[in-house]
């Protein structure tokens, strides 16, 4: 019903008007019918009476044979109220007198003629004429003879006037009724439609998240007013719940954003719906480039495939996948990494897994530390064994030295045998030296001491003597072995050993290794005096990106052969002595371009400060 109004106010008004119009029309119809019936009855009575009166007057006039009297009687009757016309005819129907018009031209109508035979003495006969006209006829008797008929016609204008008055009354009554009910409806609609409109506006504002309109004004004190109050209460409690939810969400958000582990959420089609900064760091893509992407879009194969299988496994089996270990290499130069991945189902209802959450823990350091620890443990065991062997060898060496001394003094030896004894003594001294160095390496002092360079540098070189010889590396010693330095001897020896070890690893057959030591002031501020050590080789050198990372723990290019801790530990030792270390290197590829030789130079400075070293000793203890 397109024409039917939408608002309650106009619906109530239109409904009421329709109802009123219908009820008033029905009421008018019933009243009119009733009135019509009553008026007709009264008109019949009146006509019967008037016809009777005219008949008796006419009977007298006819008896006296006075046409004038007859005419007067007829004319007066015709002018009586509610009478339209009157006439008197003879028994055959010929008009003798008529109230209006010319009696010679007047004729009875067919209905009137048909009534004449039915007329009897004493009884008036009423008849309906065409066009809603009523007439009454009464026979005129003079003595026992019927001398004529008196005809009286009702003035229907009387009826029309009555109806009009009735209608007018009804119109006034209807108008007042409609006006009063309209006012009532408008009044009622104020207390229903207006608060409902307020409620409607409030609901819309709530949908548009416009909280400024609340609480809604309560303008009426009825059920709708109570409804608005309840609505205000509901909005307030929703606000409280929303604030609580927001708090929880911000808590989760910050946990997700700042957690030191990689976190990601996947939907059922294995697409990323949320990731945190750490996860973005793992994929090396900006945070915004993850949403809606698959794992294959953000990670290389086969890692992406393995992770996808874990997610799918959770979706299919709805059971968490825990501590899946993934490893590989990345970066330039490539470095090993290890991740521990766990995936778990996230349900919104008990039935279905809506998302899959993934936690990625970077276990690279832990893995490398474990490996380094294993290797260090092995080295320590080997060192202890070497020290034990060196110690055990010392005793028979003493015996052999004594025996050779006795043999040298034996008189029966010729020159050749004596030469052999000399050679044996020389080799024995070397064995003894090696065992001493080995023991010195193992037995490190916890207190700093003034140590001659001979002990710091020669001891290292004699340890690497075998490897240096095997590779035919020419060793250049540029230092005074008698010069000394106040330091933790064992630690400085370890630094030199690391640098020499690296130089030998990088060296090719027939290279050169130069070890230099000079007393000088610190290159940095020129204040502290100390010793500057240089370890230079003509090995393969380093590319710039390798040189950048060499002091980082676990950085190595030697795969399983190196732990990547040597230079990191060396730098820590130098810093502990308040010194500094630097490196220069030219890679083989760069050397080919420039037509020079490749190689690496490490320089480190150790201050010769007994007070400083003393502090360090206290710290170390
Ligand atoms: N003299 C050098 N020439 C060329 N590269 C070097 C030299 N010294 C160090 N490097 C590079 O620096 C890396 C780190 O050296 P570092 O001594 O810390 O670890 P490593 O030698 O690999 O292992 P580790 O010393 O624990 O056995 C080496 O892997 C190597 O690539
Ligand atoms: Mg090393």
Q: Do residues 496 and 574 lie in contact, with contact meaning Cβ atoms separated by under 8 Å?
A: no
Ligand 2 centre and the CA of 469: distance in Å? 19
The number of C-alpha atoms within 13 Å of 183 and in the hemisphere containing its C-beta is 5
Percentage of the residues of the chain whose pLDDT score is greater than 70: 95
Task: Note whether 36 and 122 are within 8 A (CB).
Answer: no
Out of 330-334, 353-357, 513-517, 547-551, the most confident range is 513-517
Residue 453 near residue 479, CB atoms below 8 Å: yes
Helix axis angle for 610-620 and 566-576, nearest 10°, is: 120
Give the pair of three-digit tokens for residue 390. Answer: 């060196």
The residue contributing the CA closest to ligand 1 atom 8 is 502
Are 153 and 133 contacting, i.e. CB atoms less than 8 angstroms apart? Answer: yes
CA 435 to ligand 2 center in whole angstroms? 23
Q: Is the pLDDT of residue 478 over 90?
A: yes
Contact 136, 129 (CB under 8 A): no
pLDDT of 359-407, one tens digit each? 988 888 888 888 878 877 777 777 778 778 887 888 888 889 989 988 9
Tens digit of pLDDT for each residue in 504-514?
999 988 899 99
Per-residue pLDDT tens digits for 105-128? 888 888 889 998 888 887 888 888
Q: How far is CA 133 from CA 55, 109, 115, 127, 600, in A?
A: 20, 12, 15, 9, 142
Give pLDDT tens digits for 173-214.
888 888 888 888 888 777 777 788 788 888 888 777 776 677
Judge whether 58 and 150 are in contact, CB under 8 Å. yes
Secondary structure tally for the chain: helices H, strands E: 18, 17
Distance CA 532, CA 86 (A): 160
- H helical segments located in 409-463: 415-442, 453, 459-463
What is the structure's pLDDT at 523? 54
Which of 558, 570, 584 should be mutated for ligand 1, with most atoms under 8 A from CB?
A: 558
Going along 49-123, which residue ranges are E strands? 83-90, 95-98
CB 148 within 8 A of CB 137: no
Nearest residue CA, atom 6 of ligand 1?
502
Distance from the alpha carbon of residue 328 to the mean position of ligand 1, in angstroms:
21
CA of 576 to the centre of ligand 1 (A): 21
Q: Is the minimum distance from the CB of 502 to ligand 1 under 6 angstroms? A: yes
pLDDT tens profile 408-432? 888 888 889 999 998 899 888 878 8
Indicate if ligand 1 lies below 6 Å from the C-beta of 566.
yes
Q: Judge contact between 151 and 86, C-beta under 8 A.
A: yes
In angstroms, rounded to a whole number, what is the distance separating the alpha carbons of residues 256 and 244? Answer: 18
Tell me the average pLDDT across 273-278. Answer: 87
- CA 516 from centroid of its chain's CA atoms: 66
Task: Provide the sign of the torsion angle of the four alpha carbons 228, 231, 236, 237, taken in this order.
Answer: positive
E runs forming strands in 18-119: 83-90, 95-98
pLDDT greater than 80 at residue 530: yes
First to last CA, the chain: 98
pLDDT of 479 > 70? The answer is: yes
Going by CA atoms, what residue is nearest to atom 24 of ligand 1?
562
Question: Atom 17 of ligand 1 has which residue's CA nearest to it?
Answer: 566
Pocket mutation for ligand 1, best pick of 566, 586, 601 (most atoms within 8 Å of C-beta): 566
Is residue 613's pLDDT more than 50? no
Q: Residue 530: CB partners within 8 Å, gap ≥ 6? A: 485, 519, 520, 521, 522, 579, 605, 606, 607, 608, 609
What are the CA-CA distances from residue 147 to residues 71, 97, 335, 430 (Å)?
A: 16, 13, 149, 190
Query: How far, CA to CA in Å, does 191 sit from each of 440, 487, 505?
Result: 104, 98, 97
Measured by CA distance, the residue closest to atom 23 of ligand 1 is 562
Q: Distance between CA atoms of 137 and 154, rounded to whole angstroms?
A: 12
Cα of 573 vs centre of ligand 2, distance in Å, is 14
Minimal-distance CA residue to ligand 1 atom 29: 556
pLDDT in tens, 49-67: 999 999 999 999 999 988 8
Encode 189-218 in three state secondary structure.
HHHHHHHHHHHHHHHHHHHCCCHHHCCCCC
Instruction: Check residue 7 and give its pLDDT.
Output: 73
- DSSP letters spanning 310-351: HHHHHHHH-S-EEEEEEEEEETTTTEEEEEEEEEEEEESSSS
Cα 155 to middle of ligand 1, angstroms: 139
Average pLDDT across the chain, whole number: 85
* Strand segments (E) across 522-596: 529-537, 580-586
- The CA distance from 206 to 228, in Å, is 14
């Amino acid at each position: 019903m397109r024409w039917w109004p939408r608002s309650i106010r106009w619906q109530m008004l239109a409904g009421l008007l329709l109802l009123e119009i219908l009820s008033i029309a029905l009421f008018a119809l019933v009243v009119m019918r009733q009135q019509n019936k009553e008026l007709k009855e009264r008109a019949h009575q009146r006509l019967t009476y008037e016809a009777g009166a005219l008949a008796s007057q006419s009977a007298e006039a006819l008896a006296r044979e006075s046409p004038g009297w007859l005419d007067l009687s007829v004319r007066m009757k015709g002018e009586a109220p509610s009478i339209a016309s009157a006439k008197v005819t003879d028994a055959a129907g010929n008009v003798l007198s008529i109230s209006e018009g010319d009696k010679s031209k007047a004729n009875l109508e067919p209905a009137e003629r048909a009534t004449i035979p039915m007329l009897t003495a004493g009884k008036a006969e009423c008849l309906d004429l065409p066009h809603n006209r009523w007439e009454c006829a009464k026979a005129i008797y003079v003595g026992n003879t019927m001398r004529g008929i008196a005809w009286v016609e009702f003035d229907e204008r009387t009826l029309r006037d009555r109806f009009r008055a009735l209608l007018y009354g009804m119109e006034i009554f209807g108008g007042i009724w409609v006006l009063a009910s309209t006012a009532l409806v408008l009044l009622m609609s104020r207390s229903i439609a207006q608060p409902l409109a307020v409620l409607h506006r409030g609901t819309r504002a709530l949908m548009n998240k416009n909280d400024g309109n609340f609480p809604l004004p309560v303008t009426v004190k009825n059920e709708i007013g109570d409804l608005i109050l309840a609505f205000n209460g509901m909005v307030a409690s929703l606000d409280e719940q929303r604030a609580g939810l927001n708090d929880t969400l911000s808590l989760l958000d910050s946990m997700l954003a700042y957690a030191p582990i990689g976190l990601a959420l996947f939907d059922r089609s294995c697409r990323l719906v949320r990731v945190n900064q750490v996860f973005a760091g793992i994929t090396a893509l900006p945070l915004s480039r993850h949403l809606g992407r698959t794992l294959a879009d953000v990670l290389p194969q086969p890692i992406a495939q393995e992770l996808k299988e874990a997610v799918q496994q959770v979706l299919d089996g709805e059971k968490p996948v825990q501590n899946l270990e993934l490893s590989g290499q990345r970066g330039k130069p490539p470095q090993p990494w290890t991740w521990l991945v766990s995936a778990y189902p996230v349900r919104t209802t008990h039935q279905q897994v809506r998302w899959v959450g993934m936690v990625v823990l970077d276990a690279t350091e832990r893995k490398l530390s474990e490996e380094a620890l294993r290797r260090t443990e092995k080295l320590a065991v080997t060192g202890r064994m070497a020290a034990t062997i060196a110690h055990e060898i010392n005793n028979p060496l003493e015996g052999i030295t004594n025996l050779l001394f006795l043999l040298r003094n034996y008189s029966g030896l010729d020159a050749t045998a004596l030469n052999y004894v000399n050679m044996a003594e020389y080799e024995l001294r070397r064995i003894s030296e090696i065992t001493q160095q080995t023991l010195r390496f193992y037995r490190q002092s916890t207190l700093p001491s003034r140590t001659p360079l001979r002990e710091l540098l020669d001891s290292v070189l004699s340890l690497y003597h075998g490897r240096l010889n095997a590779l035919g590396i020419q060793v250049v010693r540029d230092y005074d072995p008698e010069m000394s330095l106040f330091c933790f001897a064992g630690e400085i020896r370890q630094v030199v050993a690391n640098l020499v070890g690296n130089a030998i690893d990088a060296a090719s057959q027939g290279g050169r290794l130069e070890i230099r030591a000079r007393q000088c002031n610190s290159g940095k501020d020129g204040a502290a005096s100390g010793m500057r050590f240089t370890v230079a080789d003509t090995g393969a050198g380093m590319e710039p990106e390798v040189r950048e990372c060499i002091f980082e723990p676990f950085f190595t290019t030697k795969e399983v052969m190196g732990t990547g801790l040597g230079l990191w530990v060396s730098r820590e030792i130098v810093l502990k002595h308040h010194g500094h270390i630097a490196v220069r290197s030219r890679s083989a590829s760069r050397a080919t371009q420039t037509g020079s030789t490749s190689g690496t130079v490490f320089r480190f400075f150790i201050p010769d400060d007994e007070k400083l070293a003393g502090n360090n000793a206290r710290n170390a203890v």
